[in-house]
Chain A
Amino acid sequence: MSRYDRFAGAAAALALIGIALAAHARDYGLGHPASAQQIAGWDIDVRPDGTGLPDGQGSVADGEQVYEANCAACHGTFGDSNEYIALAGGVGSLASGAPVRTVGSKLNYATTLFDYINRAMPFPHSKSLSADEVYAVAAYVLNLNDIVPADFVANRQTLPAVKMPNRDGFKPFPGMMSVRGKPDVRNTACMKDCEKAVAITGQLPAGFVEGMYGDIRDNFRGLATMNEAPPPAGAAPAGAPSGHALTQQYGCVACHGTDKAIVGPAFRDVARKYQGDATATAHLTRKIREGGSGVWGSVPMPPQTGPSDVELTAIIQWVLAGAKTP
């Protein structure tokens, strides 16, 4: 569509005027000139050729300290976190059946690593590191991947020169770079007897939907019918916050994931452990109230005094019923 659409009312006979308008952009007198100083504060992007890298430098050794203090908690001591994105490993795996995509295995330019950390990390407080610290931690992440030696110092000259393992692994794909691009996959608009045999080759495992998503009938509007449907078995009394909501309200989720252990066990693992155990409710009530360690590891749970007795019972019922999320 032409960017002079708003002049589309002009008749074809006035096409020449249209061209004249296109040649001379109109000045609306809006906006203000941006000063060099204003631009400098915001213009943080770094290109693969190194354009945009700031003054400063940082060594692998300095980077280790920055990393330990600001990054390791999430990305793992060796950049090998399972919980958050891993920053190291996977080199050579991209063509395999189980590709591991990391800075080391997939990224093509070290300048992009600098650019990204500088704008978006550390996750809770982006843009809190100095240029020297970003150089240093970028050097350290490259060293974790064995891409640079331990005495490497990152700066405006050295970073663009780093050869990443996957430097040549990217290809522009013209088929999707413009509306006129030639597609790579072709189907035909056959209308009759198009397939000889049709077989279902993939489906969700039995019980998967109930286990992961709970009762999904309420994902649909109930209006399409006058049918009588029984309420789902075991549904929480409407109105009261669910056990699940209470674990969020009282901050349990800071230490417990539904299906992932964080500091404490995953709620679904707790459910599995106590399945069929008639004493579970009593044990867990006391344990959560008083805190303690030893069942899942040496890290103790602090005493939890937030939830009322009724709420705690609701939480425990929810956990023991499989910790289903809405």
Chain B
Amino acid sequence: MDRQDPKRGRLLPAPENFLGAPGQARRRALGNLIAGGAALLGARALHAAGAPADPAHLPPNVPPWSQVLGQPVGANPYGVPASYEKNIIRRLSPGLTTTKHSSVAFTPLQNLFGIITPNGLHFERNHNGRPDINPYEHRLMLHGLVRQPKIYTMEDLLRFPSVSRIHFVECGANTAMEWGNPAVPTVQYTHGMLSCSEWTGVPLSTLLDDAGFDRAKAKYILAEGADAASLTRTIPIEFALDDVLVAYGQNGEMLRPEQGYPVRLLVPGVQGISNVKWLRRLEVGDMPWNTREESLQYSDLMPDGSSRQYTWIQEAKSVITSPSGGQHLLDKGGYYEITGLAWSGRGRIKRVDVSTDGGRNWRTATLQEPVLSKALTRFRIDWTWNGDPALLQSRCIDETGYVQPKMRQLREVRGTHSIYHNNAIQTWAVDAEGKVHNVQV
């Protein structure tokens, strides 16, 4: 690998006008102010058509924001991202669903750093619309095979001893569109039903003990939402007694409505739909419920026509988030950091390898601490693009020794119609012009 050339590789930027008129008008107006002469302006005022920077704002000149009093403290009592970041948003995939009331908005993984998903960008999936629930009127019922059936208010739940843990949530159907062929252009759509937060709540085991669950007979728990779907899923008792949380906190604040405000289930490492949002009821039972979301839907169809049921675990998976589909590398011989995410529903990520030649040869990437169980792990590795077409891949190994499979290995066993649990190695092709495309090899 060529480490001599420290030149930083450039990426094609967003179209200039993505900032929108207000930002540019303001920059231009301030530019005028400082330049202090209409004569100077003529040509420069038009810079916004192409160049991102006004020379009047660059050294040796002193930009206006260094000379004009800024916004007062508290101007935004609840902070929002810089106006220049307004295109960093969740997106719906065109044509994916019939109605926006049962749909999905994908997390822009290509834009994010580290492992934590900002709350406003956590992917959103619901089945019968998103409810707006008054937390003072919300109740959680716990009943079934328990000594004392209980109803908890939110105040009760907030008073129990709490824990905070960082975990990913990944929809079981993440990457589902890619079973047959590449179908979508960017990592937002291929892998964006994936987010990771610090969740705070009461261990479900604490509540089960509080109600006195029947240790001999209890085998499964039904979790039910308070939304119009009253969505239900069966949770095995081993999970419930291990690390399941009844969670109300998301990255330090209360859950966002999109993530289940005021309270949800968090079943670490298990497919997204088990993490029932707007949680209203938990019933302890002795057999699985075979709900619609674990029979008609969310079961994996095999080539012989049978369906695998109760496929809870999200197996180890990784993806390069930069460079990734839709980006454009401008510099041959430029240095690029290859970076991405790895995660496993079976525990910690042990290693991530990266290939730039479509899987022929691999180098081991650096893992960014912290490396946590059932959480996203950020990896990175240096790369100098020599200008030739390249095929970028990442492959993770988790603490059980499981190695993320190739697409063709998955297909050999599961065919192309199982929808769920596509954890194949992703390939991004860099063409000779530096454009990056979603491909399969």
Contacts and interface: CB of A to CB of B under 8 A. Distances in A.
Contact of B291 (A112, A170, A188): A112
Contacts of B437: 203-204
A32 interface: yes
A183 B315 contact: yes
B232 A31 contact: no
Contact of B13 (A127, A190, A212, A224): A224
Nearest to A168: B306
A34 B439 contact: no
B391 A198 contact: yes
A283 interface: no
A12 interface: no
A99 B15 contact: no
A216 B185 contact: yes
Task: Identify which of A238, A239, A259 gathers the most chain B CB atoms within 10 Å of its CB.
Answer: A238
A198 B358 contact: yes
A235 interface: yes
B405 A176 contact: no
Contacts of B313: 175-179, 181
Contact of B312 (A30, A176, A204, A217): A176
Contact of A220 (B11, B361, B440): B11
A219 interface: yes
B305 A1 contact: no
A296 interface: no
A218 interface: yes
Contacts of B198: none
Contact of A28 (B160, B395, B440): B160
Contact of B440 (A173, A183, A203, A213): A203
A181 to B, nearest CB: 6
Given A1-B243, A177-B313, A191-B353, A222 B18 contact: yes
Given A95-B303, A200-B441, A120 B362 contact: no
A216 B186 contact: yes
Contacts of B269: 179
B308 A176 contact: yes
A225 B7 CA distance: 12
Task: Identify which of A194, A213, A219 gathers the most chain B CB atoms within 10 Å of its CB.
Answer: A219
Contact of A219 (B87, B183, B205, B351): B87
Given A119-B229, A220-B14, A222-B18, A95 B304 contact: yes
Interface stretch (B62-70, B248-256, B280-288): B280-288
A274 interface: no
A33 B150 contact: yes
Interface string A17-58: 000000001111011111000110011110111000000000
Interface in B343-398: 345-347, 351, 353, 357-362, 373, 391, 395, 397
A83 B299 CA distance: 22
A19 B130 CA distance: 43
A227 B309 contact: no
Interface in A157-184: 166, 169-173, 175-179, 181, 183-184
B309 A172 contact: yes
Interface residues on A, range: 35 or more
Interface in B1-60: 10-22, 24, 49-53
Contacts of B143: 34, 39, 43
Interface stretch (B88-96, B117-125, B257-265): B88-96
B353 A31 contact: no
B410 A83 contact: no
Interface string A40-80: 00111101110000000000000000000000000000000
B330 A227 contact: yes
A227 B409 contact: no
A112 B233 CA distance: 12
Nearest to B161: A6
Contact of B309 (A96, A126, A173, A217): A173
B307 A170 contact: yes
A277 interface: no
Contacts of A238: 17, 19-21, 24
A37 B417 CA distance: 44
Contacts of B230: 44, 119-120, 126-127
A94 B299 CA distance: 13
B212 to A, nearest CB: 7
A94 B305 CA distance: 5
Task: Identify which of B12, B85, B222 gathers the most chain A CB atoms within 10 Å of its CB.
Answer: B12
B150 A120 contact: no
Contacts of B357: 198
B306 A38 contact: no
Interface stretch (A100-108, A131-139, A143-151): A100-108
B387 to A, nearest CB: 17
Contacts of B236: 177-178
B235 to A, nearest CB: 12
B91 A219 contact: yes
Interface of A: 1, 3, 5-6, 25-28, 30-34, 38-39, 42-45, 47-49, 83-84, 94-96, 99, 101, 103, 106-109, 111-112, 115-116, 119-120, 123, 126-127, 166, 169-173, 175-179, 181, 183-195, 198-204, 209, 212-213, 215-232, 235, 237-239, 258-259, 325
Given A34-B141, A106-B295, A187-B404, 7 more contacts: A3-B206, A32-B152, A33-B149, A119-B232, A170-B307, A177-B310, A226-B10
Nearest first, the 6 A-B pairs at minimum CB distance are A95-B305, A25-B209, A222-B13, A3-B205, A198-B358, A222-B14
30 contacts: A25-B212, A28-B210, A34-B149, A34-B151, A103-B296, A106-B307, A107-B296, A108-B295, A112-B290, A120-B128, A120-B228, A126-B230, A127-B230, A169-B306, A169-B307, A179-B346, A187-B403, A189-B397, A198-B358, A202-B181, A218-B14, A219-B91, A220-B13, A224-B11, A225-B11, A225-B12, A228-B51, A229-B13, A231-B49, A238-B21
